[in-house]
Amino acid sequence: MKKFTQLFEGSMNGPYNKKTVEDFIKTHDEIDVITKIGQRLFIPAYMHNNGKLEGADDRTLTALLLDGTKVKVYYSDIKKITW
């Protein structure tokens, strides 16, 4: 059973790669990606098919800025993933 404080936790810390991010998004459907420079990006449900990310490769993934612009992000530049 989870502790009370764990019920509200909504983040995953690295290291990140294609497999870890796809496993995470398969479970949580939509995620926020926070980069090391503090930029917040979003991966909505329509950008993956059962966890398989659209536009991802072994070094980068595709996410959205707040204005809807698609950007590539290196896994090494990700600081945290939240839901």
Q: Taking residues 51-65, what's their average pLDDT?
A: 95
The contacts found for 46-55 with CB under 8 angstroms, 24 or more apart, are 48/22, 50/26, 51/22, 51/23, 51/25, 51/26, 52/22, 53/18, 53/21, 53/22, 53/25
* pLDDT on residue 4: 46
pLDDT band at 44 (very low <50, low <70, confident <90, very high): very high
Q: Taking residues 55-60, what's their average pLDDT?
A: 94
Q: Is the pLDDT of residue 37 over 60?
A: yes
Domains assigned to the chain: 10-82 (2.30.30)
| Predicted model pTM | 0.82
CB 27 within 8 A of CB 11: no
Q: Taking residues 25-33, what's their average pLDDT?
A: 92
* pLDDT on residue 7: 44
